[in-house]
């Protein structure tokens, strides 16, 4: 193990784990009553996903879950963060519950507990049942109400065995990336759709928390992929642009959830697109949470753009000499610490889990080993930032590396690899990479302190 980062830099009760998502690993897309999600449809549309890849088989985790849990156990993990597939449990999005879908997660959760792994479940990681998309998807209040019913089912069935239950993973991706930038399902490019999607995702979260609390005492929270935002320079123009970028990309979620309002610039810029009676939903969005999750990968650098509509900014150049991952994302661990410090200085937040952090490096096996030192070089200083902000008094509770294994990487298909474990998609063979061994050694040392 690299000796720069010491296991005792983290509190004794700090949890280390790995993370995955249902559509990215499960496969079995039409087995045991599961019906299609928007990603099943989107991935089969020409030109939407690299190489025409789909999640039909993915990592075949649906059939290999026992050996995958054995793998997690062998890596000494305290916890496993996974998502539950809504279309596997309630195939139409509303109505009848699928007993075989419930049964799969019963086995998975019990399998975690039998191996001494704490199960951290996420209700929604982007696989919206296709039936709900026919009713407007996230642009419709119907979906927020359906989500609350789904949350109630899951809390009732599993709440007594889960370490936590997260409502939404990265609502920014389900709204802005999916409805404005058109990169993720359903692939729209419409501000008229984006603003309602943001709103009803926020509402779904709030109603979901209420539904969870009505059925269970399981700790409840949300996972947000916040941007650490830096202006291109210190000019008033660019600093104001950076604030508008923050308001749109971060504040549109942070403010309703933790302040009970939308940012002023957001309302001024986009109020015409907000749904009817939006103000009356704000109280439901702002629910007391037991924790929140932060997913962090890379910073955002922005500058003013007078020709663009709100938030009237564009991407600024990455600093000269900056390192990047194989997906092209700037590596800036100090931005991670800056972001955590900023949000705790400006919002009244509960304790935090880093629910995702990791890097894409596409190293392949050589003589049965995957030497991915670049991933270790990414992970170590990012974990170091967590140790630093924890020492400074921030309530950091745990860290989940993204990802346990290489998987279906959404619009990038199987081209990009984020795993600590290499997956051969032809044979489904799993090979722990050097980074996986490094992380495992850190966790083992922490557990044995």
**Average pLDDT for residues 121-144, to the nearest whole number?**
98
Tokens of 202: 């926020």
Whether 391 maps to a domain, the answer reads: yes
Q: Active-site positions?
A: 170, 356
Rounded to an integer, what distance in angstroms lies between the CA atom of residue 279 and that of residue 262?
Answer: 9
Query: Residue 389 — very low, low, confident or very high, per pLDDT cuts 50/70/90?
Result: very high
Query: Residue 1 — very low, low, confident or very high, per pLDDT cuts 50/70/90?
Result: very low
pLDDT for residue 4 is more than 80: no
**Average pLDDT for residues 174-192, to the nearest whole number?**
98
Whether 327 maps to a domain, the answer reads: no
* Domain ranges, residue 259: 7-36+55-321+333-357+376-403
Q: Tokens 């359906």, residue? A: 146
CATH code, domain with 112: 3.20.20.80
Whether 273 maps to a domain, the answer reads: yes
Whether 157 maps to a domain, the answer reads: yes
Q: What is the pLDDT of residue 5?
A: 86
Number of domains in the chain: 1
Q: What is the pLDDT of residue 116?
A: 98
Query: Residue 206 — very low, low, confident or very high, per pLDDT cuts 50/70/90?
Result: very high
pLDDT for residue 132 is more than 90: yes
Pairing type for strands 164-169 and 220-224 reads parallel
In the chain, the N- to C-terminal Cα span, in Å, equals 15
Whether 90 maps to a domain, the answer reads: yes
Q: How far is CA 226 from the centre of its chain?
A: 10
Rounded to an integer, what distance in angstroms lies between the CA atom of residue 150 and that of residue 162?
Answer: 16
Please give the model's pTM, rounded to 2 decimal places: 0.98
Whether 435 maps to a domain, the answer reads: no
Mean residue pLDDT of the chain comes to 97
Query: Residue 6 — very low, low, confident or very high, per pLDDT cuts 50/70/90?
Result: confident
Pairing type for strands 164-169 and 79-83 reads unpaired
**Average pLDDT for residues 279-285, to the nearest whole number?**
98
CB 354 within 8 A of CB 399: yes
Whether 202 maps to a domain, the answer reads: yes
Rounded to an integer, what distance in angstroms lies between the CA atom of residue 255 and that of residue 259?
Answer: 5
Q: What is the pLDDT of residue 2?
A: 43
């Amino acid at each position: 193990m690299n000796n720069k980062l010491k296991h005792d830099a983290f509190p004794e009760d700090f949890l280390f784990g790995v993370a995955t998502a249902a559509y990215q690993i499960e496969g079995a897309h039409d087995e045991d009553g599961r019906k299609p999600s928007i990603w099943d449809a989107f991935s089969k549309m020409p030109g939407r996903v690299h190489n025409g890849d789909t999640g039909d088989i993915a990592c075949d985790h649906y059939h290999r879950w026992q050996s995958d849990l054995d793998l997690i156990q062998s890596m000494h993990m305290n916890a496993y963060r996974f998502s539950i597939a809504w279309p596997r449990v309630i195939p139409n999005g509303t109505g009848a519950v699928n007993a075989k879908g419930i049964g799969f997660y019963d086995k998975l959760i019990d399998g975690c507990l039998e191996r001494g792994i704490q199960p951290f479940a996420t209700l929604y990681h982007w696989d919206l049942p296709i039936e709900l998309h026919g009713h407007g998807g996230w642009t419709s209040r119907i979906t927020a109400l359906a989500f609350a019913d789904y949350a109630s089912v899951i809390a009732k069935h599993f709440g007594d065995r889960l370490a936590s239950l997260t409502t939404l993973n990265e609502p920014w991706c389900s709204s802005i990336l999916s409805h404005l930038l058109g990169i993720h399902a359903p692939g729209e490019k419409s501000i008229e759709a984006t603003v309602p999607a943001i709103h009803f995702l926020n509402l779904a979260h709030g109603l979901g928390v209420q539904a969870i609390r009505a059925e269970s005492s399981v700790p409840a929270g949300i996972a947000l992929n916040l941007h650490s935002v830096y202006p291109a320079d210190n000019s008033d123009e660019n600093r104001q642009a950076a604030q508008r970028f923050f308001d749109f990309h971060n504040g549109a979620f942070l403010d309703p959830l933790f302040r009970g309002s939308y940012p002023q610039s957001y309302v001024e810029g986009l109020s015409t697109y907000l749904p009817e009676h939006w103000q009356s939903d704000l109280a439901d969005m702002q629910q007391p949470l037991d924790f929140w999750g932060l997913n962090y990968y890379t910073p955002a650098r922005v500058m003013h753009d007078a020709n663009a509509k709100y938030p009237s900014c564009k991407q600024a150049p990455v600093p000269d000499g900056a390192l990047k991952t194989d997906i092209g994302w700037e590596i800036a661990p100090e931005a991670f610490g800056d972001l955590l410090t900023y949000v705790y200085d400006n919002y009244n937040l509960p304790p935090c889990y880093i629910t995702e952090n990791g890097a894409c490096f596409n190293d392949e096996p050589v003589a049965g080993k995957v030497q991915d030192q670049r991933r270790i070089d990414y992970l170590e200083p990012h974990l170091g930032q967590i140790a630093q902000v924890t020492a400074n008094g921030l309530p950091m509770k745990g860290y989940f590396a993204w990802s346990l294994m290489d998987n279906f990487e959404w619009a990038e298909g199987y081209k990009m690899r984020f795993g600590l474990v290499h997956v051969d998609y032809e044979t489904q063979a799993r090979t722990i990479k050097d980074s996986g061994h490094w992380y495992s050694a850190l966790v083992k040392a922490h557990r044995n302190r």
